[in-house]
Amino acid sequence: MPHVVIGTAGHIDHGKSALVKALTGTDPDRLKEEKARGITIDLGFAHWASDDLHVAFVDVPGHERFVRNMLAGVGGIDCVLLVVAADESVMPQTREHFEICRLLEIRAGLIALTKSDLVDAETLDLVRLEVKELVQGSVLQDSPVVAVSSRTGAGLDDLRAALLALGRRAGGRPSDGMPRLPIDRVFSMKGFGTVVTGTLVSGHITVDQELLALPAGTSVKVRGLQVHGHKEPRAEAGQRVALNLGGVEVADLTRGDTLTVMDSLPVTRVVDAALELLADAKPLRHGARVRFHQGTAEIMGRLGVSSVLGEHEAVTAQIPPGRRAFVRIRLEQPVVVTRGDRFILRAYSPPVTIAGGQILDPTPPRSGLRTAGGRTRFERLRFRPDVDVSAVLSGSSSQGSAASTSEPWQVAGPTGIQGSPDETLSRRGAHSSLPGEAERPPRAKLENDAALAWMIEEAGSAGLPVRRVIARAGVAPHEVPPTIDRLIAGKHATVAGQLLLAPNVIEHLKQQLVAALRAHHQTDLLSEGLPREEARVRIFGRAGPGVFERALEDLVRDQAIEVRDKIALRGHRVSLSAEEQRAMTTIEDAYRNAGLKPIEQAAVAPELRLPTDVADRMIKLLVRQKKLMRVDTLLFHESALRQLKEDVTTLKRHATGATQIDVATFKQRYGITRKFAIPLLEYLDRERITRRVGDVRQVL
């Protein structure tokens, strides 16, 4: 059965709690102080079920002193029930609550005129007009306005019918996303232990599931689960949930924490966002201290202003009332947010609601904020229902430049474009290389694709880890593969190991590697190539893991390079002069003929009557080619060492018992001195042909 969460909003003493009690039979005021004072102080909860819909009510306090508690509850609702008392009409907290719901872009709602039994019909009509004027231009402008009386019951049936219709239109939340439960209450129950409650924003939670409590990162286990007071094995997105948790104490959790799973949500202290300042607020200056409200969390922070939309000054000192801007908020404590999350800002003092906005990047890199590059970055990240997203994805600057900031500015709602959440586009355009001619994803996904493409480009050679697509870009886990497929098909990303890179980045790295190989071959004619580690450090030192290997694979596939012990351009061969070729042949023959009694390296040039520099170069080349092998300080021809290993191994095969050999026997057998015998025996030990046992070697 679908579930919908409806939150009340309105001024103090306008009858919100009484209305919820009349609708559900449950008094949402649960605290003794609330009952004694007759006002709602903290969040209250109740539920009501029809034949085809579960409705959970979140009753919020209306007093101005408790708006922070109101904000903790309104963040998880699907619809708003704006409550206005007919005997008082629109009041200050009516306006503030309405602005909060508008800034959070609550998708739908309706209006209840309470205490209708206390006024005459003419007054009721006047209040109805004042309320309609308040909500003009919002999602509530065409919503039903139902007059009710919680005392007499008048209008309650009409309100229930309107709520059911509202809930059915609102629909449920996707349960196949990542589990995300912002905690609004933490308490202990005798016999159970730690219990938390909240509205499950996305995904699902099951009994015995392992979760993380962020921002602390504490691992917890769900020991029990209730939905609307009933024990259940599973909770779905959109439900009010109570969880009995194991592995954590009450003191370790607080309102504002979030339950989720590993690698799903980032913990951050800095966010980039698009902000709207209310028309009746004071100008918001750069560096102002603000109260940041998101989900159930409230955190102090400082505001950095990048630019005001529609203005092109190099430096913007403040945001004028009623204007939109790009901002960076530095928080004093960690917060759990992702791209697309909406938030509210309240002034530091007095704590009144002044603005709201949407997260563009929950973990921005260290970069200029009040520069042309910083403003361009925000333009690339913004939600843009007023421009052609396909043009942005294809790299067209005409739709995403600063000039477009004078256009009407909106922020996409939770389901996509405001007013047309189901809008889809033809698969032609930026993604024409995708297979099939089915409809392309909704615009909300394409907006995220455009932002993600910029994040990948911005990451450079370090790359964006695939697992960060969920946390940083706010992509649901099941949407990650198709999202990456779209970016790859549109040539906005390529995969290297577990990283996403911009194709031009890895192409540039490959070009640098080829250029380095070409330069190396030109300066060192006798070199067979560039050592792998040297190439990795010199060219890919700042690249993420897997990028170097991906570049090598591409270049080998394209037949541009050859990778052996060293990396070389395809077809590269060591180029020797006639003198060098004769010297190399002479040296190799000399060592091959010397067998296990080679000449010392320093004596090669005089004994073979070769120039010293030529002899040294040829010896290095023979060693690189593994025709000569170094054993301790001596050089041997590889054929001599190979024959030695075969000969010693043969001793074992022909012996009836354990075969041992000492230094004297070894010297006598091969006619060599101790100078050669000791290094050769140690070489055999390293090659696991023999093993030293005391003063003798045992043949393995």
For the stretch 221-251, pLDDT in tens is: 999 999 877 899 999 888 888 999 999 999 9
Nearest to 456 by CA among 499, 498, 485: 499
What is the average pLDDT score of the chain?
83
C-beta separation of 332 from 312 below 8 A: no
| E-assigned strand segments in 497-609 | 499-501, 530-531, 561-563, 566-569
Q: In what order do the strands lie in the sheet with 499-501?
A: 464-465, 499-501, 494-496
Q: How many other C-beta atoms can be found within 10 angstroms of the C-beta atom of residue 525?
A: 12
The predicted-structure confidence for 553-567, as pLDDT tens digits, reads as follows 999 999 999 888 789
pLDDT at 1 over 50: yes
| Per-residue pLDDT at 465 exceeds 60 | yes
Given a contact cutoff of 8 angstroms between Cβ atoms, the answer to whether 198 and 77 are in contact is no
Q: What is the mean pLDDT of residues 508-521?
A: 93
**Which residues pair with residue 244 across a beta bridge?**
195, 224
User: pLDDT grade, residue 284 (50/70/90)?
Assistant: very high
Q: Using one digit for the tens of pLDDT, what is the confidence trace for 50-73?
A: 777 778 888 776 555 546 666 666
Whether the pLDDT of residue 425 is over 70: the answer is: no
- pLDDT surpassing 60 at residue 403: no
Q: What is the pLDDT of residue 383?
A: 81
pLDDT at 387 over 70: no
Backbone angles phi and psi of 421, in degrees to 5: -65, -20
CA distances from 438 to 426, 431, 441, 518 (A): 8, 12, 9, 47
- Quick one: average pLDDT of 139-146? 91
Both tokens assigned to 235: 């909770």
Predicted structure pTM score: 0.74
Query: Which range has the worst mean pLDDT, 404-413, 448-457, 478-487?
Result: 404-413
Query: Tokens 């040539």, residue?
Result: 491
Across the range 117-124, mean pLDDT stands at: 94
- Residues 410-435: what's their mean pLDDT? 28
Of 559 and 656, the structure prediction assigns the larger pLDDT to 559
Count CA within 13 A, CB hemisphere, residue 411. Answer: 27
CA distances from 30 to 35, 61, 198, 557, 622 (A): 8, 12, 16, 69, 87
Q: What is the dihedral of CA 515, 518, 524, 530, to 10 degrees?
A: 70
pLDDT > 70 fraction of the chain, expressed in percent and rounded: 85
Is the pLDDT score of 424 beyond 50? no
Whether 439 shows a pLDDT value over 60: the answer reads no
CB distance 449 to 485 below 8 Å:
no
Higher pLDDT, 503 or 45: 503
514 vs 656, residue with greater confidence: 514
- Tell me how far apart the terminal alpha carbons of the chain are, to the nearest angstrom: 74
- Tell me how long the chain is: 700
Q: Residue 17 pLDDT > 90, yes or no? A: no
Distance of alpha carbon 583 from alpha carbon 577, whole angstroms: 10
Residue that the structure tokens 């706010």 belong to: 474
Residues 189-216 have pLDDT tens digits of: 888 889 998 888 889 999 999 999 999 9
| Beta-carbon count within 10 A of 557 CB | 8
Q: Which of 19-28, 355-364, 652-661 has the highest mean pLDDT?
A: 355-364
Average pLDDT over residues 540-549: 93
pLDDT-derived band at 423 (thresholds 50, 70, 90) equals very low
What pLDDT score was predicted for residue 370? 86
- The reported pLDDT for the residue numbered 177 is 80
